[in-house]
Amino acid sequence: MADETALKYTPDHEWVAVDGDVATIGITAYAAEKLGDVVYVDLPAVGSSVTAASVVGEIESTKSVGELFAPVDGEVVEANRAVLDDASLVNSSPFDDGWLIRVRFTELPDLLDHAAYQELTA
């Protein structure tokens, strides 16, 4: 399991794990719980350019449709095929198997640390 305290977070409930110049991005357990049972995920294509704070995908649940926002500027280098095949991974494993995309970024913006995110969702 990913160490949630080592991740960065957005106010829109995405998490970011940085490895060199690649950010792995997913939604938090808090967001997954609020969405309810996720039934469909729409992700950007590999090679797509994304801009921080812009909508790059959708997450549909039995209760609503949520938007996936890019926390960084960059190019999508991988989309999680397992989530496309089994969207419930977003609920069952949001910090591990349920990651959504990987983006090669040029600059990492200021993001929330774990403590600040916990305060936001308290």
Q: How many structural domains is the chain composed of? A: 1
Q: In terms of C-beta density within 10 A (0-12 exposed, 13-18 middle, 19 or more buried), how is residue 106 classed?
A: exposed
pLDDT at 10 exceeding the cut of 60:
yes
Mean pLDDT of the chain: 95
Q: Quick check: is 93 in a domain?
A: yes
Query: What would the mean pLDDT of 81-101 be, rounded to a whole number?
Result: 97
Q: Residue 23 — pLDDT band, cuts 50, 70, 90? A: very high
Domain assignment of residue 117, yes or no: no
Measured distance CA(100)–CA(119) in Å, rounded: 24
Domain range spanning residue 49? 4-111
pLDDT tens per residue, range 41-83:
999 999 999 999 999 999 999 999 999 999 999 999 999 999 9
**What integer pLDDT is reported at residue 3 of this predicted model?**
86
CATH number at residue 24: 2.40.50.100
Which amino acid type is present at position 100?
L
